[in-house]
């Protein structure tokens, strides 16, 4: 399995270090492995989360644990907003001081205005740093799917790849990656106006844990299991059908459900040929829309047919 700490930074048979040319920037909708945002050449621009009348920078002013605790104790619905253009501009300028070019991978345009916000910052950035090439890529997703595209881009960049190659490999993941997840309750989706009252009541009475798939910005319900155990089993079955036996890149995601996420991670590790496998927590920017209890897996296969 891939160890991010083992990424080579020196050319074979040479004492000359590989100098990364490309910085990777994402918004905080991406579900990244713990500690990853601190890696060199990686920048995270926080979304804004508002709960209980107070606004916070996602991951900076409020942690996931703090957010989910407050979410359970408040009757109001939290809201989120994309990073402002000024925040993207600050990140672009910081990256430009150390890197020759920048790839910014945003949450899907169907779910967030992050792409538009980043694009709005580009004109001013190019005025300040005309020699630094910058590109913005819509991930067509969010959470672990967006995170896996960013991780692939970062690995390429750390090995000295050009911006064109980094972007090409990130797009390769965007084309292949899928996300399967289920929610423990529709309560928070209903409270935020995303699920009708009748659907919420019906699912609650029947104890349904809706299992959905996100691929290329399209969300579809793929199963309606009635227990978490059944939902996990069905999720892994669907994952196997799609991924096959080819080397797998995966992130197990959870929203305040770390124990269950670790159990899923172990199952994925046992049952698949994992090239990389992580556990990541839904950031407040994502959890605000879903609520605690979500479990899911984002993954892409190296199979040519995927």
Structure tokens at 193: 């106006």
Sign of CA dihedral 270, 146, 35, 66: negative
Q: Give the largest Cα separation in the chain, rounded.
A: 66
Last residue of a domain, one of 143, 175, 207: 175
The whole domain housing 183 covers: 178-301
CA distance 129 to 140: 28
pTM of the model: 0.87
21 and 136 part of one domain: yes
132 and 118 part of one domain: yes
Q: What is the CATH number of the domain that holds 25?
A: 3.40.50.10440
236 and 257 part of one domain: yes
The residues pairing with 103 across neighbouring beta strands, listed in sequence order, are 24, 135
Burial of 83 (0-12, 13-18, 19+ CB in 10 A): buried
Q: What is the CATH number of the domain that holds 216?
A: 3.30.1180.10
For the chain, what is the radius of gyration of the CA atoms? 19
- Number of domains the chain is built from: 2
Stated length of the chain: 306
**Domain contains 269:** yes
122 and 37 part of one domain: yes
Q: Which helix (H) or strand (E) holds 186?
A: none
16 and 140 part of one domain: yes
Helix (H, G, I), strand (E, B) or coil at 2: coil
13 and 125 part of one domain: yes
**Domain contains 73:** no
Last residue of a domain, one of 149, 175, 201: 175
Convert the pLDDT of each residue in 52-104 to its tens digit. 889 999 989 999 999 989 988 887 788 899 999 999 999 999 999 999 999 99
Residue 156 and residue 228 in contact, taking contact as beta carbons nearer than 8 Å? no
128 and 145 part of one domain: yes
CA distance 22 to 83: 21
Convert the pLDDT of each residue in 193-250 to its tens digit. 444 333 433 444 345 688 999 999 888 889 888 888 999 999 999 999 999 889 999 9
């Amino acid at each position: 399995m891939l160890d991010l700490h083992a990424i080579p930074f020196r050319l074979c048979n040479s004492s000359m270090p590989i100098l990364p040319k490309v910085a990777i920037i994402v918004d905080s909708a991406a579900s990244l492995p713990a500690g990853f945002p601190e890696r060199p050449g990686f920048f995270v621009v926080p979304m804004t989360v508002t709960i209980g009348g107070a606004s916070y920078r996602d991951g900076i002013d409020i942690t996931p644990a703090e957010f989910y605790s407050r979410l359970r104790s408040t009757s109001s619905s939290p809201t989120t907003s994309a990073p402002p253009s000024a925040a993207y501009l600050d990140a672009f300028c910081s990256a430009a001081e150390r890197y020759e070019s920048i790839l910014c991978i945003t949450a899907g345009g169907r779910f967030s205005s992050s792409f538009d916000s980043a694009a709005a910052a580009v004109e001013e950035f190019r005025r300040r740093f005309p020699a630094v090439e910058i590109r913005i890529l819509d991930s067509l997703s969010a959470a672990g799917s967006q995170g896996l595209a960013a991780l692939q881009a970062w690995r390429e960049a750390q090995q000295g790849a050009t911006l064109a190659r980094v972007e090409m490999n990130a797009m390769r993941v965007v084309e292949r990656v899928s996300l399967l997840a289920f929610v423990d309750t529709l309560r928070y989706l209903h409270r935020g106006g995303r699920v009708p009252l009748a659907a919420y009541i019906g699912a609650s009475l029947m104890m349904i844990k809706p299992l959905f798939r996100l691929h290329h910005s399209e969300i579809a319900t793929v199963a309606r299991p009635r227990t978490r155990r059944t939902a996990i089993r069905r999720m892994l079955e669907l994952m196997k059908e799609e991924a096959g036996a080819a080397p797998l890149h995966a992130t197990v995601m959870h929203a305040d459900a770390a124990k269950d996420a670790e159990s899923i991670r172990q199952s994925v590790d046992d049952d698949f040929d994992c090239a990389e496998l992580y556990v990541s927590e839904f950031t407040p920017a994502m959890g605000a829309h879903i609520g605690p209890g979500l479990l899911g897996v984002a993954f892409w296969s190296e199979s040519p047919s995927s």
